[in-house]
Amino acid sequence: MRLAEILTAGILALLSIYLMWKSTELNVGYIRGEGPGGGAWPFWLAGIMLICTGFIAFNWWRRTSPPSQSDDVLLDGYGKRTLVLVGGGLIAFIGLVNIISMYGAMAVFLFYYLRFLGRHSWNLTLILSLAIPTTFFFFFEGLMRITMPKGLGFTEPFYNFLYSIIY
């Protein structure tokens, strides 16, 4: 656990630095009359993540966090099983984005995660699996004006209905 904690912090720190560097390809400052530049949010979020990894490394060095005091293995049998089930679900989610759309893939993943991994009730599973992607649709497509992948096209009538609500 101790080694895993510092390795994870180091990898996340390197990722943060890379993301900060990559976001500077866009304007990271404030653009008069427009607002923050296109790289502002990624840059500052990666900067906050870098600061957090510094705190993780500091606590690791002081041995104040539970993982930094542990000699246990990183993943026991249950942890490995959970990693495979959640990781497999995420891989399926990514694979479904171009087939059934970002929002459809999100609904399928939430259904899988809530019902089969979380063992939640059918009511809660169905409500959240439909409400969360719909909320994200209105947020991204309506408020932010950011279009997400819509899949192979057979979902188009459903999205046309949702667009009629927005416009």
Q: Rounded to an integer, what is the distance from CA 65 to the centroid of its chain?
A: 25
User: What proportion of the chain, given as a percentage, has pLDDT over 70?
Assistant: 100
pLDDT, tens only, 34-50: 888 889 999 999 999 99
**CA-CA distance, 18 to 58, in Å (whole number)?**
21
> Measuring CA to CA, which residue among 41, 42, 54 is closest to residue 18?
42
Please report where in the chains the tokens 């049998």 appear, as a residue: 77
What average pLDDT does range 125-149 have in this prediction? 93
Each residue's pLDDT tens digit, 69-98: 888 888 889 989 999 999 999 999 999 999
Residue 83 to residue 96: CA distance in whole angstroms: 20
Phi, psi of 147 (to 5 degrees): -90, 130
Q: How confident is the model over 104-114, as a mean pLDDT?
A: 97
